[in-house]
Amino acid sequence: MTVQVVWFKRDLRVSDHWPLAEACRAGPVLPLYIIEPAYWQQPDSSVRQWAFIAESLRDLRRQLARLGLPLWVMEGDTLNILSQLHDQLGPFTLRSHQEYGGNWTYQRDRAVKRWCDAHDVTWQETAPFGVLRPCLDRDHWAEHWQDFMASSQATLPGHCEGALPAPPWPDLKTPRGMGRELCPGRQRGGSETGEAVWKSFLEQRARGYRGGISAPQKAEHSGSRISPYLAWGCLSLRQVVQQLWVAQQQAPAGPLANGLAAFESRLWWHCHFIQKLEDQVDMEHQSLHPALRNLRDDPGNPEWLRAWQQGQTGWPLVDAAMRYLHHHGWINFRMRAMLVSMACYPLWLHWQQPALHLARLFVDYEPGIHYPQIQMQAGVTGINALRMYNPTLQAQKLDPEGHFIRRWVPELRGVSSTWTHQPWNMGSRQQKESGVQIGEDYPSPLVDFDVAVRQARARLAEARHQAGFREQSRAVNQKHGSRRRRPRARNTDNDDQLSLF
Ligand SMILES: Cc1cc2nc3c(=O)[nH]c(=O)nc-3n(C[C@H](O)[C@H](O)[C@H](O)COP(=O)(O)OP(=O)(O)OC[C@H]3O[C@@H](n4cnc5c(N)ncnc54)[C@H](O)[C@@H]3O)c2cc1C
C-alpha cells in the first residue's frame, strides 16, 4: 500500500489532526517533521521559537508513540528530504495542513508542489482553521469561519500502522547556529502543557479576562496565554472554539461568563488577521496602503532603533515592557501595540525593523497576525483607526504604583511612585535621593513626546490628503476589511491614546 507521509509543520499535535486521521485510514503512516536550516536563518526566526518547537516535538513523539507511530525528525532542505524518502519508499502520498506563513514558507510550498507534480506524489492539504485559500469573497467570510469552527473534529483510530522505524533524530538541543537561548520566562512547548494552560483559563482564569488584559502584570494571568500553542499548532483552534462554546453554555451569569464572551472575539480575530497575509503575502515587506509606502525612511534613526530594541528609550513603561518581553517571550496586546506605536510615531522608525525584532522575541510569532497588526499599529493600512499611545498616561493608568516599572527597570528601584512615570522631571535633589541620575544611570526620553507626536500627526495628515487616498483606502477595505462585527467586548481601554483624525 502507498505510504502516507504526514508532514507536520505548524500543527504539532495529534488531536483534531485531519491529515493524520486520514492517513491512518489510508495506509502505513510515516509522520515527519523537517528542520529546515534555511528557515532558521530567516531574520524573523529565533532560538526561543526553536526551543519551544523542540519541546513540542518531544511531546508529539510521545503522543504518536501511543498510536504506534514513530516520529521522523530530519534536518535539511525539504526537497532533498522528500527526494530521499521517494528513493526509499517510491511514490507516496504527502499529507499536511496548509501553512499560512510569510513569503519564505509560501515559496517553499510552491516548490514542494512542483516537486510533487514531477514525482508522482499526491499532496493532500487540509485547512487547519478558518482561513480560506483562496478567499474569493470577504463578504461571506464570517459565515465560513462559523461553519469551520462548528465542523467535525478529526478522530483517530486506536492504532495506526507505522511505515518504518524512525532513524535517530538530529540533536534538538543544539540551536541551529542561532546562539544561546536567553528567555528564562518562556512558556514550555507541547500539547500536554497547552491543554493544561487552556483548561485553567476556561475553568478559572477567564474570570479575570474582562478588564484584566490591559495591564501587563495582570494580563500575565488573566489572558488565556494560549498564543504559542495556537501559533505552533499544539492546540487545535476548532477544538478550543468548540470547548469554549460548551463552557459558555454552562457558565452561570457573572465574571466567568463575561470573560468567556469577551474572549470569543479574539479567536475570530486570529483567523481574520491571518486571512489578510494569506490574501496578500507582500504585507510582510510593504505597507498595505500605496500612499503610505514612502511615509518613513527605512530604518529611520539607527540609534533610536537600538535604544528601543534594548529597552533604553527613557520612557519607563516602554522600557519595562521591552525588557519583560526579552525575558518572557510574550507580552500582552496593549503593550505590543504601545511598543509599535512608540517606535513608529514619536521615534518615526519604519515598521520593518521593529516588526522583525518583535517577531524574534515572540515565542508565539504568527506571521499572519503579526504583520497585519504591526501595519495597523504603525498607521499604514489606511483603513484602521490610528492610535498613538501616550507612555506616561499609559503608565499612570496601568501601573499606578510603578511596581511593574521598578521590577523591569531596576535603575528606577529607588524612585517613588510620584516620579516613576516621568523620572526625567525629577530635580537633582530628588534624583540624588532616589539613587538614579537621569541621563547617566537611566536615559532621558529620546525625544520630546508632545513635539514628536505633533510632527507625526502632520506628516500623516499630509500623506492622507494626497489625491486618490480615499479611493485606495476603499480598495484596501474591499479586500481586507471585516464585514461583520462580532459581538465586541465592552472596551474600557480606549482612552489614554491620542487620536489622530
Ligand atoms: C504589534 C502586534 C503584534 C502581534 N503579533 C502576534 C503574533 O505574532 N502572534 C500572536 O499570536 N499574536 C500576536 N498579536 C496579537 C496579541 O497581542 C496576542 O495574540 C496576545 O497578546 C496573546 O496572548 P493571549 O494568548 O493571552 O491572548 P488572548 O487575549 O487570550 O487571546 C487568545 C488568542 O486569540 C488570538 N488573538 C488575541 N488577540 C488578537 C489580536 N489582536 N489579533 C489577532 N489574534 C488575536 C491569539 O491567537 C490569542 O492567543 C500581536 C499584536 C500586536 C499589537
* Domain shared by 44 and 88, yes or no: yes
Q: Which of 331, 325, 302, 295 is nearest to 213 (CA)?
A: 331
Give the distance (Å) from ligand 1 centre to CA of residue 121.
37
Instruction: Please report the pLDDT score of residue 500 as a whole number.
Output: 41
Instruction: Please report the pLDDT score of residue 368 as a whole number.
Output: 98
* Domain shared by 233 and 315, yes or no: no
* Domain shared by 73 and 203, yes or no: no
Q: Note whether residue 489 is domain-resident.
A: yes
* Domain shared by 245 and 312, yes or no: no
C-alpha span between 404 and 420 (Å, rounded): 10
Q: Which amino acid is at 55?
A: E
Give the domain-ending residue among 227, 260, 277. Answer: 277
C-alpha span between 481 and 479 (Å, rounded): 6
Q: Note whether residue 423 is domain-resident.
A: yes
pLDDT in tens, 365-414: 999 999 999 999 999 999 888 899 999 999 999 999 999 999 999 999 99
Q: Note whether residue 164 is domain-resident.
A: no
CA distances (Å), origin 183, targets 180, 326, 360 = 9, 6, 11
Ligand 1: list residues with CB < 6 Å: 213, 223-227, 230-231, 263, 266-267, 269-270, 273, 332-333, 336-337, 340, 362, 364-366, 369-370, 373-374, 377
CATH code of the domain containing 109: 3.40.50.620
- The DSSP line for 130-181 is S--SS---GGGHHHHHHHHHHSPPP---S---BSSPPPPPP-SSS-SS----
* Domain shared by 273 and 295, yes or no: no
* Domain shared by 198 and 119, yes or no: no
Angle CA(332)–CA(335)–CA(341) in degrees, nearest 5? 140
Give the distance (Å) from ligand 1 centre to CA of residue 65.
32
Give the distance (Å) from ligand 1 centre to CA of residue 6.
28
* Domain shared by 395 and 479, yes or no: yes
* Domain shared by 233 and 309, yes or no: no
C-alpha span between 16 and 370 (Å, rounded): 25
C-alpha span between 403 and 429 (Å, rounded): 23
Give the distance (Å) from ligand 1 centre to CA of residue 368.
11
C-alpha span between 112 and 115 (Å, rounded): 5
- Residues 92 and 3 sit within 8 Å (Cβ to Cβ): yes
The pTM of the full predicted model, rounded to 2 decimals, is 0.96
Ligand 1 atom having least distance to the Cα of 201? 30
Give the distance (Å) from ligand 1 centre to CA of residue 193.
19
**Which residue puts its alpha carbon closest to atom 11 of ligand 1?**
227
β-strand pairing of 387-389 with 122-126: unpaired
Residue 352: Cβ within 10 Å count: 19
Q: Note whether residue 144 is domain-resident.
A: no
Ligand 1 atom having least distance to the Cα of 359? 8
* Domain shared by 231 and 309, yes or no: no
Give the domain-ending residue among 224, 255, 277. Answer: 277
Q: Note whether residue 315 is domain-resident.
A: yes
* Domain shared by 356 and 229, yes or no: no
CATH code of the domain containing 239: 1.25.40.80
- Residues 248 and 262 sit within 8 Å (Cβ to Cβ): no
Q: Note whether residue 476 is domain-resident.
A: yes
C-alpha span between 63 and 20 (Å, rounded): 12
Q: Note whether residue 38 is domain-resident.
A: yes
What's the chain's length in residues? 501
Q: Note whether residue 171 is domain-resident.
A: no
Q: Which of 222, 298, 215 is nearest to 259 (CA)?
A: 222
**Bridge partners, 34 (sequence order):** 74
C-alpha span between 330 and 322 (Å, rounded): 10
Q: Which residues contact 185 (CB under 8 A, 6 or more apart)?
A: 327, 328, 329
Ligand 1 atom having least distance to the Cα of 230? 47
Give the distance (Å) from ligand 1 centre to CA of residue 227.
6
Q: What does pLDDT average to in each consecutive run of 10 residues of the chain (501 residues)? A: 97 98 97 96 95 97 96 97 97 98 96 98 97 88 95 92 96 75 94 98 97 96 98 98 97 95 95 96 95 93 98 98 98 98 98 98 98 97 91 98 98 97 98 98 98 97 93 92 59 45 36
Tell me how many domains the chain contains: 3
Q: Which of 320, 341, 342 is nearest to 331 (CA)?
A: 320
Ligand 1 atom having least distance to the Cα of 336? 53
* Domain shared by 445 and 301, yes or no: yes
Give the domain-ending residue among 107, 128, 149. Answer: 128
* Domain shared by 266 and 357, yes or no: no
CATH code of the domain containing 495: 1.10.579.10
The four Cα atoms 101, 104, 107, 110 give a dihedral, to 10 degrees, of: -50
Give the distance (Å) from ligand 1 centre to CA of residue 269.
9
Mutate to test the pocket of ligand 1, among 227, 237, 380 (most ligand atoms within 8 A of CB): 227
3-state helix, strand, coil in the chain (%, to 5): 55, 5, 40
Give the distance (Å) from ligand 1 centre to CA of residue 256.
20
Mutate to test the pocket of ligand 1, among 187, 220, 324, 369 (most ligand atoms within 8 A of CB): 369
C-alpha span between 499 and 501 (Å, rounded): 6
Q: Which amino acid is at 41?
A: Q
Task: Show the domain range for 240.
Answer: 191-277
β-strand pairing of 29-35 with 4-8: parallel
pLDDT in tens, 319-374: 999 999 999 999 999 999 999 999 999 999 999 999 999 999 999 999 999 999 99
